[in-house]
Amino acid sequence: MGVGAEKKWLFALFSAAFLSFLIFISSICGLSSSFYSYSSQKPYTLSVDRGPGHPPAFAYYISGGRGDANRIFRLFLAVYHPRNRYLLHIGADGSDIERKKLGAMVNSVPAVRAFGNVDVIGKPDPVTYMGSSNIAAVLRAAAILLKVDKGWDWFITLSALDYPLITQDDLSHVFSSVRRDLNFIDHTSDLGWKGGQRIEPIVVDPGIYLARRTQIFHATEKRPMPDAFRVFTGSPWVMLSRSFLEFCIFGWDNLPRTILMYVTNTMLSEEVYFHTVICNSHEFKNTTVNGDLRYFVWDDPPKMEPHFLSTSDYERMVQSGAAFARQFAKDDPVLDMVDEKILKRGSNRPAPGAWCTGRNKWLTDPCSQWGNVNVLKPGPHFKKLSKSLSKLLEEWKSESNQCR
């Protein structure tokens, strides 16, 4: 390839980066007709108390692809609580029939109809494996959740391959004593092999401008590491504070937009974007707790995704003190074990908590009736999460593992 052709190629790449940035902004601004809302007759149930002095609330973004409607619904039921907010997304590779099916299943839950705290994205995002359209979808989800609900404290990303290891009463109880500006994000600036193989290569995600999903493609040249900011990387699965997401979305500082432009042409940008923004922000870099609260088992040598978990992993998984685990095969028996032994959840029913008051749990769904949704009743498994979280917070206080 000649010099002139190479310049044209690079120009096309960075033009695509700018185009993707415009797509990000348009997705954030144009929310009104892009999702289905399952609301109560009232604007919002007044018995849900939020803010200081009350248990924390979580905003869940649960995503999947073609054929994942049932898996998303099962995961949603496993993490449901009236105090939280939920956004469910089947990517553009799925069909409108699947999205309507998911919406119908969600609307069949009595608590969802009463509390109106669930939305299903109706205009899906394309998501290309290893491409920047992944981070575009997450940013859009954050923007929607910031717009539709002003009371949640933390944003949690889950996929159809994930599952909780604790109840929502456990999670809220443990996080009731945690500062609500803290961000739980696995991160490091020690890039190692990722620097040369994922950060320096220039890639384009066709998902940002083509209707059909295809694989990313690569430029022949690499770019030098930036000197205007330091690149961080880590787990793509995060638990972020509302204040930090407002910083990323509303952007009173130009840093989030600058880094967004950079990672548009970066492989696996969801492993780079939030990590780099938060660790280069003077306002937020001291709020980073270095952990993602997830349980993984990696193959040796490690592959792109962690090992699929099974019943043989159950005891180690439960004893880990993690809040969530991945990845699970569809309807694997280990999920039934988690439902039965930890969540106490029946088929096609939400995981019960102190808010559920139905008395005959064998004949009816105990969560089809409810009392005070601001009361928590943690079970025996919260102690393991509390112990692992205390260790992470001790490291955070010592600044030994913070944005380094």
Q: Report pLDDT for 156.
A: 98
Q: Report pLDDT for 12.
A: 46
**Where in the chain are the domains?**
25-44+52-189+233-398
Express each pLDDT in 309-335 by its tens digit: 999 999 999 999 999 999 999 999 999
Express each pLDDT in 126-148 by its tens digit: 888 788 889 999 999 999 999 99
The predicted model scores a pTM of 0.89
Q: Report pLDDT for 251.
A: 79
Asked whether the beta carbons of 373 and 48 are under 8 A apart, the reply is: yes
Over the chain (404 residues), what is each successive 10-residue block's mean pLDDT?
47 47 45 51 61 94 96 98 97 93 96 95 85 91 95 97 97 96 93 83 81 74 91 94 96 91 90 96 94 89 83 95 96 96 94 88 80 93 94 87 76
